[in-house]
Amino acid sequence: MYGLTPEQEQIVNLARDYARGEILPGAAARDREHAYPADIIAALGDMGFMGILVPESWGGAGLDNVSYVMSLAEVAYADASVAVIMSVQNSLACHPILVHGTEAQKQRYLPDLAGGKKIGCYALTEPQCGSDAAALRTRAVKQPDGSWVLNGTKMWITNGPQAEVAVAYASTDPSQRHRTIQAFILERDWPGYRVGKVEEKLGICASGTSELVFEDLHVPAENMLGEENKGFHIAMATLDGGRIGIASQGLGIAMRALDVAVAYAKERTAFGKPIGAQQAIQWMIADMGTRIDAARLLILRAATLRDQGKKCGRECAMAKVFATETASFCADRALQIHGGYGYSKEYEAERLFRDARITTIYEGTSEIQRLVIARSLLE
């Protein structure tokens, strides 16, 4: 594969073989039944994919971002629901603890998260606070002993129903917006931590999404993540990694959409020949393939810059907006190529169309990505 070392190719091939052999066959049934893939997540943990960036000393695989994003694309090719669980675990749960956590926090949380023994989530979004993350209202009140009490509601939390560990954000003074936001590591079994409404979604139906409700939730002092009043910085830095994770999910969906479209174009006949012989169909397939290759290269660039420790906010945003819009484009064209059959749940194109749609919304909408890109170019 272009741009990968032999070691990286070996990891990606492992992900591809498992994804196509074990994840793909049951994807339609899980989607239909809204069945959380617990066994698959455990297996991915055993193989090192749930903590791929975490060093071996804390129970992870100790690999690089390029291996991560290309492996994630292979998982998304088989099932976007499994891919988003893996993405959140790596990018939004393990990563902020790895980068900003104390030694004690890393020892306590990373081995179970990296091994897939516990599921993590990222609790930032609130009912009135999506793209404007600084407007969160969840309140953190510091106690005389240094502990905290949290009150508030989070929503659209991927992995929320299953997560045993949450990286969550709250403010000591919401009127101060980003200046007083704190980051915390929370545990599900603490009194005052409650899973609220579980969402019924258009797509990625085998992954859980819910509210999290904090009611006088007592948080020990040692569970504040990072420095005081630096929570917003942690949240935004974390989202860079999340963006290339979702970009990779989009890439995988697009790759699968192309493959099912090509297969159908070869077997379906109209006017006495396979529809793939028609120029209209060929142009759709050409556009799909071109966009997929461009998305892959943007993702590889962003991941390589992260591995080099370089600033890459703009590159991550470019990868995210282009790859996820490519996913929607390719899923739409795959459904169109299938014609009326594409609208039937009997065919995979319908599920890919539904799964692709969310990728342009969560972990930073396409509109926010364009703002990030434009502001960087205008500086």
Distance CA 362, CA 343 (A): 25
H-type helices in the chain, by residue range?
6-18, 27-33, 38-47, 65-78, 80-87, 95-100, 103-114, 231-267, 279-307, 313-338, 348-357, 366-378
Looking at this protein, which amino acid is placed at residue 176?
Answer: Q
Report CA-CA distances (Å) from 102 to 110, 163, 240, 334: 11, 21, 21, 47
Q: Which two tokens stand for residue 47?
A: 């193989």
Q: Token digits for 183?
A: 């980051």
**Contacts of 310 by beta carbon, 8 Å cutoff, 6+ apart:** none
Q: Decide if 118 contacts 38 (C-beta within 8 A).
A: no
Q: Which residues pair with 214 in a beta bridge?
A: 152, 193
CA–CA separation, 115 vs 161, rounded Å?
19
Q: Tell me the two tokens of residue 18.
A: 């498992």
Provide the residue type at 81 as one letter: S
**The token pair that represents 251 in the structure block:** 């890439």
CB count in 10 Å sphere of residue 39? 10
Tell me the C-alpha distance between 234 and 254, whole Å.
31
- Residues whose CB is less than 8 angstroms from the CB of residue 308 and which lie 6 or more positions away in sequence, other chains included: none
Looking at 126, 315, 325, 363, which residue is catalytic? 363
Is 363 a catalytic site residue? Answer: yes
- At residue 354, what is the residue type? R
For residue 144, the surrounding DSSP H or E stretch is none
Can you tell me the distance from the alpha carbon of 115 to that of 4, in angstroms, rounded to the nearest whole number?
25
| Active site residue ranges | 363
